[in-house]
Amino acid sequence: MGTLPVKVKKKPGPPAVGQQKLDAYGLDQICADLSEGQTLTAICQRVGVDIATLFVWIERDPQKLARTREARTRSAKLWDERAEMVIAMAQDPFELAKARELAHHYRWRAKAIAPRDYGEKVTQEHTGKDGGPITMAAVDLKGLSDAELEQMQTLLGKAVPPALE
């Protein structure tokens, strides 16, 4: 019988070139760029790394992840302001139509980046009669005849969806 190969643990080598470039550029600068509304793609092009490398670099460290998330949330405010600005700067109907499309995209971008602040808020309320509180009533079945109890059982059977029977 042969022997099984033994896995040898490699000593950690120097970080990959992309990681080194990101370390040199720095988390503070990346967060500043994000806060100014720059895209992750634009940052990657400036640093000279691909976006997957940036994601790995950010996601390996909870502090980096939290700080970049905060910077992107701040940038959502910028996108919302840009939406208003492009509409205000339009000087003719063509520019206004183009500005509306850009404003729509900027607002969508703000919502995608910070849904808690710019997303649609949905609430649901349950109320009773005329918007009042929901009331619960106890039914006293003691005084019902056998025929009335059978009728109640039939009616309740109709109220239960077939999937729940």
Give the per-residue pLDDT at 66. Answer: 93
Confidence of residue 58 (pLDDT cuts 50, 70, 90): very high
Which residue has better confidence, 30 or 8? 30
Task: Tell whether 164 is covered by a domain.
Answer: no
Domain of 65 in residue numbering reads as 17-116
Picking from 28-42, 55-69, 101-115, which range would have the lowest pLDDT averaged per residue?
101-115
Any residues with CB less than 8 A from the CB of 119 and at least 6 apart, and which?
A: 111
Q: What is the CATH number of the domain that holds 38?
A: 1.10.10.60
**Total tally of structural domains belonging to the chain:** 1
**Exposed/middle/buried for 27, CB within 10 Å: 0-12, 13-18, 19+?**
middle
Give the per-residue pLDDT at 33. Answer: 94
Report yes or no on whether pTM surpasses 0.85: no
Task: Tell whether 158 is covered by a domain.
Answer: no
**Percentage of residues in the chain having pLDDT higher than 70:** 85
Task: Tell whether 38 is covered by a domain.
Answer: yes
Q: Measured over all CA atoms, what is the biggest interatomic distance in the chain, rounded to whole angstroms?
A: 86
Task: Tell whether 126 is covered by a domain.
Answer: no
Give the per-residue pLDDT at 57. Answer: 94
pLDDT digit string (tens) for 100-127?
998 888 888 888 888 877 777 667 777 8
Assigned token pair, 25: 């550029």
pLDDT at residue 162 is higher than 90: no
Section 128-133 average pLDDT: 80
Section 67-94 average pLDDT: 87
